[in-house]
Each structure stands twice: as structure tokens, then as C-alpha cells.
Structure 1
């Protein structure tokens, strides 16, 4: 359903909004209230003009059914609601789509907004049309949820919901186009901005991806006017000045090109074009240049009769004017993935001005404007999708790259980033040694090329040759390069892969490979951690029954459990308690705790340079506790000494910075570690003092493991207390509690 026009008879009103257009596809004229809605006979005439054999009776029935179902529903503009599906049908008739698409446009909101059902539509109009209507409805349901989801999630679900029929997307694009033309009727500025942003990020790129540039350009312009009105005004004002300055030179160039074609004996139609405000804004934003630095505000298009005439026209232009090196592109011999074909060239024209020119035939021009929709036509007495030679017989082909990114998995943000990379790109054409062509974004590397050929080749690439020469994998490809990939038997992402790829397909493929690789590594690590932890606790890992433990910990398989342990989400203590409930002793803290000592030091520390084989020594000079900042000192022949960051002994190692290792406590230490904190107490030598000290420590969840009398006088006594604690905060809390006792004179932390 259209975002701006939820029927007023519904409880959850949606607003729609305004801009009358000269025709279903032309540039919008200044905003005004629609004065006329297409009648049934007018719509039938539009369709019959290009498809005389259409089923007029069925289309008329659909028109009447939609009008009846929407009944008295009104749009936010006050127009009858059925005006919206009728206008969408009118837009699609300009694309010359088949009658099933036109009927789908008329019915596309009936399932969502009226009592109509898919079953009823199938009985009345056939299963094909019912499926198309249901497909559009699914996409519309995603729009309704868009306010509660991110753009990334919305695009991911949108692409996932696209049916195998390109007509579903074409109807949805026409639906969005009409809603954007009427967006001003939406009262909420926030909602208008959300819809415009969604249009710019999702709908316009999808339209351009399938070659429907007429849709894409208007969607971009309309969204731009809502999102950046100040920028639009500024650019429009400058364009007024540019028009006044270049009107005469542009007219002169148009005439001169016509003369060049005539002298070459070619029949050609020449037209000038002005760069759209949104295109200028994108260039200003992307290239960080000023308006004055943009040299291609005006360009020219030549339409000739045949493919051969395109090349003859280009030769005539290059003979008359010097061409700009590096600016020639031949999209006729190597079309873009969406079927676009044309010659592009730049020449130094009159007065030394650079002139950009496109040369194509009339059919190429139609494909350039309407993309995949340009291939609906009569052939063999049938009206349907009949692509030209060289164009894929699969109308969804242009979207396959985006679908492959979705298949690689990953989160919504990754998909959004990679899909946008796939949809926005200039192109370069490269070949395999066997001559197979692959179209890639400009700046693509051999790794991008490998993934374009096949995911397995991308996963195993280790080197590449371009035109027979070994090159680094980060080398950008150029048009015409022949790329030969060297492979390994092992699937492994190349080091620093982020700097080696630019395509969405390569990025999503490598991230999938990383996930698989990480899963294997976490699985292996988790197995080792589990066996080590159970052994440390005196349990035989091979003799235990894991089924009950998996149920207690809510894991579907032992493999998932090991992976979780490898990631550090499940500790060895937790596993042991799940395997043998009650086996792990409880500390005074009431939780399962394990002593932090040298033998098991690796279980409690983390650090980038912490080697698994290195011996760990918690130094008694500072007695580190979890929660305290620590550092490691690599000592030859001894391993790693662990000190607190403020330990006095560190001064002995200041000259040997290379031996310092950045360390920290891991989650196991914080959650299940049991350390020994040492306090020095000075107190009155009175009866019951030691009992009071024991009581305070126990009430503070500490556990006394040793008491040593340091000195004893007639009035005072000093003694050292070793206490099991969780971390540095815990020992500080105990010390503060002890100071509250009347008999305690002083409490201090003792290190060493």
C-alpha cells in the first residue's frame, strides 16, 4: 500500500501527497491538486495502443473491481483512493508492460486495504495475477514495518521478499513513484524524510539496477527535494546562471554536431541535456569539488539508425574534434549488466570546451530509459518479455549479484553496505584466460574478479596474473585486462582483505568465509578449553554424559557448546557444574570459584601477545587481583611475570620496553576467579577482637585462609590475614568494613 494514502475509513490512517505530472513518466510540474483521474476507457486506450490483442474485458473488470473495493476510501489529498492504483497502472502503461502487470497495478492495494482476498482475486483474474498481487502486498507489508526497523534490515527483507517475477518489482517501483509525486500531503516531516530516505537508499538504486532510469531519476529528484531542499535551491539558482551563460554555445554545439553527421552521410537526431540537480549534488558530495569545478553540466546525445552508424558517428566526431584520452567507453560491444548499450566519448569542442557525447540507436535509447521493461513487446504473435540478442533471457539477471550477497548471510548492516556497493558503481570490463567477460566496479582488484567468476575461486585465491604478469592482489583492474587466478587447496581469506576488495559480492563472500573459519577455530579451541577445565577440576572429559548438560545449558549440540566455550561465553566451571551438579565447590561468595594461580594463569588472562605455551607467574611483590590494571614482563627462561601497573619492581624493567606485554583480566577471572588478598591489621589486644574480625570478613563474603601474628604487645597486636576474594573491589570493601570496628586501629593492603 502507498505510504501516503491509507484510506481514511481505516483506523490506522496513512497520508499520501501531491504533484500532478504531465504524463505518467514525465518530470513533475509545479505542485497542484490533481484535476483529472484516468478513466477506464483512457487506460484501456493507453494499453491497446501498444498491445492490440490485450484482454480488454479482463482489464475493465479489474478497473471496476478496484473501484468497488476501495469504495468511498479517500486519500489524504481528498481524492478518491482508487485514483492511486489507476495512476500506478497508467505509469506502467508508459513502460508498455503486459496486461497482467497493468491489472496487478489496479489491484495491488486491495488485499491489504479492502475485504478482497488472494483466493477471490485468483478466481476472478487467474492465478498468475493473484501471485503478482500477493508479491506486491508482501513488499508493502515491509514498508509498514519500516518505521520500526533500520534501513539495513528493511533492504535485506525487501530483497528477500522479491519474487522470481520482475513484474512485482516494477509494480512496486511505479507505486513508490506515484507516492513520491504526492509526498507533500503527508503532514509529518519526520515521516516524509523517512520515506524520502528509503526511496533514495532502496527504491532508486533498485530501479537503476534493472535499468529503469526514468524511474530512478525521478525518484532521486523527488527524494532530494524533500531531504535537501536548501541544496536543491542553491543548485537550481546556479543552474539558472549557467543556462543564461551557455544557452548560445550549447545551441552552437548542437548545430555543429548535426553538420558533422550530415557531412558523414549519417541520419542522426541530436539533443542536449542538462545535468540534474541531484546528480550535481552527488558529484559535489562525492568528489568534494565546488560547483564551478564541474565541467560536464551539459552533455549531448545522438540517436542514429544502426549499430554501425554509432561507430561511424563517433569516428566523424573524433575526426572533427580532438577526443579526451581515457574518456571513451564502448557499452555496445560490452553492455552493462542491466542491458544498457551506448558509446560514450568526450571531445574538445568549440572554444576549447570539453563536450561529453552519448551515441546510440533508438532501441538502445529506449533500453537506456526503461531498462528491463523495454523488452516487453510482440514476438511470434505473443506479447511478453522478449529480450534483444545479447540480453539475458532472465529478467531478474541484473539482481543476481544482490541475491548472492543475501545468500552469503551476515547481519543486516553488512548486507546493506555490500548491496549498496553492488548497486552504485562505475564499471570496468575484464576477461578470464578463456575469454569470458566479467563486469566489475571501477577500482576492482583480482580478488573481486575471482569472486565474480565463482565463490570457490574467490575463497581460494592466493595470487594473480594480469595480462601474463604477476601482480599484487591489490592491483586495480583496467578495461580489457585478462586475469589469471592462482589458487590454493585451502579456503582462507587473504591477509588485510579489507584493502583488497571493493565489490559487495567479494566482501560478503570473505565475511562468510571468515565466519566459517572462525567457527572451526572456536570449535577446536572450545574442545581444548573444556578438556583442560574439566581436568583441572579432577573430572575425566571422556567418561561424562553431556546430554543432560546440553539441556541444562540450552544448547542444541555438543558442537554449539564447544563453540560457545571457544568464544568465552561459557566457562569451564559452568560446564563442570552442568555436567555434575554440586561438584564445583562454592566459595563464600555463593558462586562457583576457581583459584587464580600460576598453573592456570592462562585461564584468567587476555592479551594480544600472550603465547599459550608461555609460563605465567603472578608476582608476590604486588599480588595482582582481578580488577587491577596489570602488565606482563617477558623474562627469558622463566615466562611471563604478571605485575600490577603500579608495582615498584617495574622500574627494574623500564629500559627493556620490548619485554612488556599488555595484559588484562578476562571474563573467567571476573566471574569465577578466586584470588588471595592480604591485609595487615593493627588492633587493640583485647578479648573477642579476632572473632569480630572473622565475623566482618564472613559477612562481607570473604573467606579467611590464613592468619599470621606479625607482632604482639601488651596493648596492641598486628597480624596478617589472607582472604579469598573475588577482586580488588572486594578486598577494599572488606578493609573498609574492618575499619568500622572500634578495636581496629589501622587496616592496610599488604603486597608481597
Structure 2
């Protein structure tokens, strides 16, 4: 069928006239799409090619660049024909191919549960998926024509599409400031979702507008034009009715009747400069009495979508309220077309780069904000348009919102703790991916589970959500606790057998000596080394008590110093010296001699300022001596119990222990242990270093 017969010739010609330098490539694009969609019909029975041409027409009317218009012509070819991305790229360039691919991705999004919070997530998903804002503009133009032909679909489909449009696409058009499309999408959705209310508002507006127009033309506009002319300002004075959906929303928001909506028609005044905007505002207020609280300065304080204008409502002749909007031509273009205005076609010039758009926004914000930091406003706008979240789907099509960088493990724990704990693998868009794969907006994620699979501490290195981190750590602590319980029970039996008591008698006597809430707490104390077998045995064996106390050394004893016997001493808690160290004594008041290891900072201070108080000491290796060590290890299940076991098997007891784990899975463990001498300490540390995952072990000085 010829273009003329379809009524498409004039549309195509009008588009081509707007882009004289790209006329040939636009015509080639139309011929390409006509061939690809040949034989395809819309639900209306019309040839399919009408739809892409109408989309391109809308984009041209928005003055989008030629790249976007061509992408509008081709936007359905990847989805509905045998066309490939490579084919589009070769014939029309990478930018066109990328935009068409972006529109196709958005078209595959399945909208479910359009309650308020989810609707906002879907809006963010579209913006995040698009990457290039022109993709969204093409999708809005596509949705606009689909809404205009919605009457050819079944009622249930009409309702679903209208709901999507009102909850997702119209707010995006608003966010991007594309007023023309926003208004049309809202009114068309209103018509299908609330037909009775739509008809009631339509009839009221239709009946009221004629009277309002006569009133404005007779009593308001002539006076305004005359005053502006006297001031020597060149201005356009027009009026425009509010769109139906906004009128209906106002009645709901303010709980008023239609007859109480006074701003059905707004007067718009367009001038050349910002200064003239304020001059005209003064003229309006001198002609008519302003209504208190009804003045808005969106020039000094723009809306989030960078809309700028002065709004004022006045009491005009006969007591009628009239709203005025005053703006510059540039502001008017932006108000009608929003961000689309920044890709406006300019003859002899390639499309405006996205960087240029944000450069323009930056300069605008600087003008508006004055001394305030414009980059913050710009960053907020970018965050609004290019979300810092990823939007993925379950196999059933439910939308899940996760932070950027999220992995299948994060997704699994978001679904349920058990799904995360038994995650064995993941499929993204039908393909197996590694568990540290970074999810992208639009991905469909399927988790493969297995009862045999358990959380891996290595997952902590790449998960990003606090929920996943907490669940993994909880599982690790749970397993660690089970290991400590098992080891504690073994040591409990060892201690019980050594004192030859029944379990009941052993527990009863031990409870009188050691405080513990229940048996589990006792087992964990034994398993972690906080309570040693030798300590338990010494508490329940009076004969061994004295020797044990001596071996534990409460920090005091006798030493040999340069041949002097029987002098009382105390071990320095700052360095915890042991036999085999180079040890010095420091004479103090009240404590007698305090012993320090040669490298101790406290010893160096005393030696420098009071050298007469420092003596070389030869310590007899009797009993055991407390010292501190620090262990650095890769955190894993069971590592604490293995270290405690190796310390015990090396003939040492743990008096105290603390553990700290960093975000990257590195554990730092501090132990206070007892040893007989420096060689014994080296043996204990060597045994600790043999534990898998231990990276370092060294003495710890306070």
C-alpha cells in the first residue's frame, strides 16, 4: 500500500523537513522499517508501520536529535522482526543500535504489584536500564501512541496498560520534565481507568471553558497586554486549560467540587529575560490584587526536574481568580519538553552529547544557587535519573531491589535465609553464573539450592547487603559454637576422669567453684580455652592446689638478682617477661621489684631517667609465667577451636582470649597464655602457626 493511501506521506515529509541534513538517512530508515514490518498488522487492522512512524513524529515534534528519531522508527525491529543489533549498527550507527536495544530491554519488563512503593521501583528500573536518557524518551513516545490506540484491545489489557502508564510512565515523563507527554499519558489513562469520572470532568470543562475564554479575552488579557506594551517588553500572552486528570486530582487532594476549581484556564506570559519576568510580575500585581500564599518563585528555586517559572494567582474583575505563569522562552521550551529539549536538533551539528546536557544543567544550577554548591544539586539529579540500585526479577517475575554490586548470594538471602544457606549455584537470564557475579538491572535470577550446601565464609568477601553478611556470620558462629561444644565435652570428660568423679558430683562441685549459666556455657569455656582442664583439676584437687597456684603465678614470687636471694618481685604486666628473655628489675615503692623484658618501653623510660633503680635479673625457671600473643588469621569455621586445641596440646593454658574480625574476613585473636620459658613460648607459637589459615603469630606487648 502506498504512503499516500495510508496517509503517511505528509508525516514522513514533515519529519524529513525538520532534519534537512539527515533527510536521506531518515528516509532509508523508514524504507528499512517498512520492509521489516511488511505484512504485520496492529490490533486496529492498520499496517504496523504506522506505529513506528507516529513514534518518530512525536520525537520530531519534541525536537529530539535525528539519532533518536531514527531509533524511534526502528524501535520495534529487534523485538518483532528478524533484525539484529549488528545489522542496525552497520546501517545506522552504534548510537541508534544502542537506543533500540535499550527500548527492547525496557519492553521486556513485566510489571507486577503496582502499589505505590513498587511503582517507584519500576520507574527507577526503567531509568537504570536505559543508561541513555534518549531510550526513555523513545519509550515514552512509544507508550503515547499505544495509549492513543488502546481502544482496539480487550478491556482487561486496556486496564493493565493504562495502570502501567499512570503509575510508571507518566511519573517518569514528569520527572524528566516532558510536560506534553505527561499530560497526554495521564488524560488517556484517566479515560480508561476511571471512565465515569473522566466523562464528568470532561463535560464540566467543556461547558466552562467557553465562558472562561470570553471572560479572559474581555476583562484580563487586553489589560495585561496593554501594561506590558507600556513597559516596552516584548511578550506572548496566551492561555491554556488544565488537563483533565490534574483537575480531577485537585478535587480529590483538596476535597472540593469541580465548581470550586478556579484555575481551569491559566494565563501564560512568555518574555525574553529573567529580569522581564519579575517586571511583568510587578505589573500583574499592580493591575489585580494577588491572593496571599498563592505566589511561587520557581525561577529562584526550580523544581527537581529543573522546571522554572513564576506562578501567581490574582483576583481579577468580577471577583474571579486567575492564575498567571510568567517565564522566558528558554524556560517555556524546557517546561514543555523537559530534558528532551537538551537534545534538540540543531542544523549542521551532531547530537548534543550527554556530557553537554549535564554541563548545561551545571551552569543553570550555578546561576540559580549562587554561592551554594551546584555539584550537590547536580549529583542529586543524576542519582534521581541514574539509580544507584539494581532491579532484578525472580523467575516468577517479582521485582527485587538490591544495592549496586549485589550478587546472587545477596539475592538468595533477600528471598529467604534458608535459600541463602543452601545456595549451590545461580542462573542469570537462563545462564549459569559464578556466585560473585555482579547483578545488573533487568536480570532474571534463579537460585539453585542443595540440602548438602552450607554457607562459605569466603562469601563474606563479595556480598554487599547487611542481611547476607549477618546471616552468613550467624551461621559461622553457630557452627563455631557447635565445634567448641564438641571440644569442650571432650575436655570435660578428660578433667572428670583425672579426678575420678561421677558426672553429677563433678558438676555439683565445679558449680561451687566456677560460675556458669548451664552446662553448654561450661563446655564452650573449656572448648575455647577460657577455662583450662588443669584449672578445673586444680580447683577440685586440694592436694594440687598449692603447686597449681605457684605454677599459675599470680604475678609475684622470688627471684635471684646478682646473687641476692629471696627478694619479692612482680611481673610487669606491660611486657610479661618469661625465663629466657633478657630481664631487668626496677625498684619501686610498695611493689618491691617489678620485672621487665629488655625491649619494654616502660623499662627504657626508667633506665633513662632513674638508672640507679634498674638491675639485671636472672630469673629461675620455676612454674609457669603468663604472657600475651596476637594471632592474625583468615576467619573460617572452626579456626578458634583448632587454635585452642593446639595451645592445650603444647602444654599451655589459656587465661583470656578476645577476637576481632574485620570486614575483609581477617581475624585478630589476642590470647593470654602461660608458658615455662621462652623456648616453650616459641613451641606454642609454632604449633599455632601450623593451623590452616593462620598468617602470623607474635608476642603482644601492652
Q: TM-score range by the shorter chain?
A: 0.5 to 0.7
Q: Which residue of the other structure, out of 161, 179, 186, is the alignment partner of 1:213?
A: 179
SS at match of 1:73: coil
TM-score, normalising length: structure 2:
0.53
8 Å contact kept, 1:112–1:137: yes
SS at match of 2:72: helix
| Structure 2 partner of 1:122 | 89
Change (3 A) 1:393 1:262: closer
SS at match of 2:156: helix
Change (3 A) 1:370 1:561: closer
8 Å contact kept, 2:225–2:237: yes
Q: Which residue of the other structure, out of 163, 176, 184, is the alignment partner of 1:197?
A: 163
SS at match of 2:269: strand
SS at match of 1:101: helix
Q: Which residue of the other structure, out of 358, 361, 365, is the alignment partner of 1:391?
A: 361
Per-residue Cα deviation, 1:28-69 (whole angstroms, up to 9, x for no partner): xxxxxx984423x752443433x3322x22222211111111
Q: Which residue of the other structure, out of 371, 389, 400, is the alignment partner of 1:407?
A: 389
Q: Which residue of the other structure, out of 38, 48, 70, is the alignment partner of 2:17?
A: 48
| Structure 1 partner of 2:482 | 576
8 Å contact kept, 2:124–2:385: no
8 Å contact kept, 1:272–1:298: yes
Change (3 A) 1:244 1:61: closer
Q: Find the aligned partners of 2:308 and 2:340 in 1 and give their Cα distance.
A: 15
Q: Find the aligned partners of 2:318 and 2:235 in 1 and give their Cα distance.
A: 24
8 Å contact kept, 1:209–1:398: no
Q: Find the aligned partners of 2:476 and 2:253 in 1 and give their Cα distance.
A: 46
8 Å contact kept, 2:457–2:476: no
Q: Find the aligned partners of 2:359 and 2:452 in 1 and give their Cα distance.
A: 62
8 Å contact kept, 2:21–2:348: no
| Structure 2 partner of 1:372 | 339
Matched ranges for 1:612-623 at <5 A: none
Q: Find the aligned partners of 1:561 and 1:135 in 2 and give their Cα distance.
A: 31
| Structure 2 partner of 1:474 | none
| Structure 2 partner of 1:162 | 130
Q: Find the aligned partners of 2:468 and 2:193 in 1 and give their Cα distance.
A: 48
| Structure 2 partner of 1:555 | 455
| Structure 1 partner of 2:608 | none
Q: Find the aligned partners of 1:326 and 1:417 in 2 and give their Cα distance.
A: 42
Comparing both chains, which one has the higher relative contact order based on Cα–Cα distances under 8 Å and sequence gaps of 6 or more? 2
Q: Find the aligned partners of 2:391 and 2:39 in 1 and give their Cα distance.
A: 45
Q: Find the aligned partners of 2:301 and 2:77 in 1 and give their Cα distance.
A: 43
TM-score, normalising length: structure 1:
0.49
| Structure 1 partner of 2:327 | 360
Q: Find the aligned partners of 1:292 and 1:601 in 2 and give their Cα distance.
A: 78
Q: Find the aligned partners of 1:417 and 1:137 in 2 and give their Cα distance.
A: 18
8 Å contact kept, 1:271–1:300: yes
Shift of 1:180: 0.5
Shift of 1:103: 1.1
Q: Find the aligned partners of 2:146 and 2:70 in 1 and give their Cα distance.
A: 19
Per-residue Cα deviation, 1:663-706 (whole angstroms, up to 9, x for no partner): xxxxxxxxxxxxxxxxxxxxxxxxxxxxxxxxxxxxxxxxxxxx
Per-residue Cα deviation, 1:254-282 (whole angstroms, up to 9, x for no partner): 22222222333333222222222200111
Matched ranges for 1:107-256 at <5 A: 107-142=74-109, 145-146=110-111, 152=119, 154-163=122-131, 165-187=132-154, 189-243=155-209, 245-251=211-217, 252-256=219-223
Shift of 1:105: 1.0
Shift of 1:407: 2.9
Q: Find the aligned partners of 1:601 and 1:222 in 2 and give their Cα distance.
A: 71
Shift of 1:599: 5.1
Matched ranges for 1:65-84 at <5 A: 65-84=32-51
Q: Find the aligned partners of 1:63 and 1:346 in 2 and give their Cα distance.
A: 48
Q: Find the aligned partners of 1:417 and 1:331 in 2 and give their Cα distance.
A: 36
Residue 564 (structure 1) aligned with residue 532 (structure 2): no
- RMSD of aligned residue pairs (Cα, Å): 4.5
Shift of 1:73: 0.7
Shift of 1:208: 1.4
Change (3 A) 1:418 1:561: closer
| Structure 2 partner of 1:296 | 263
SS at match of 1:325: coil
8 Å contact kept, 1:209–1:399: no
Residue 307 (structure 1) aligned with residue 213 (structure 2): no
Q: Find the aligned partners of 2:114 and 2:260 in 1 and give their Cα distance.
A: 39
Pick the structure with greater CA Rg.
2
8 Å contact kept, 2:177–2:307: yes
8 Å contact kept, 1:323–1:347: yes
Q: Which residue of the other structure, out of 2, 5, 8, is the alignment partner of 1:38?
A: 8
Shift of 1:344: 1.4
Shift of 1:313: 1.1
Shift of 1:119: 1.1
SS at match of 2:338: helix
SS at match of 1:391: helix
8 Å contact kept, 1:38–1:87: no
Change (3 A) 1:387 1:572: closer
Change (3 A) 1:285 1:571: farther
Q: Find the aligned partners of 2:520 and 2:297 in 1 and give their Cα distance.
A: 62
Q: Find the aligned partners of 2:47 and 2:485 in 1 and give their Cα distance.
A: 68
Change (3 A) 1:240 1:112: closer
8 Å contact kept, 1:347–1:354: yes
SS at match of 1:384: coil
Shift of 1:339: 3.3
Change (3 A) 1:76 1:580: farther
Change (3 A) 1:106 1:378: closer
SS at match of 1:372: helix
| Structure 1 partner of 2:292 | 325
SS at match of 2:21: coil
Residue 316 (structure 1) aligned with residue 222 (structure 2): no
Change (3 A) 1:405 1:83: closer
Matched ranges for 1:274-673 at <5 A: 274-377=241-344, 381-385=348-352, 391-392=361-362, 400-403=382-385, 406-407=388-389, 554-557=454-457, 563-564=470-471, 576=482
| Structure 2 partner of 1:727 | none
What is the count of residue pairs matched by the alignment?
423
Gaps of 5+ in 1: 1-33, 420-507, 510-514, 523-549, 585-597, 604-752
Q: Find the aligned partners of 1:287 and 1:602 in 2 and give their Cα distance.
A: 64
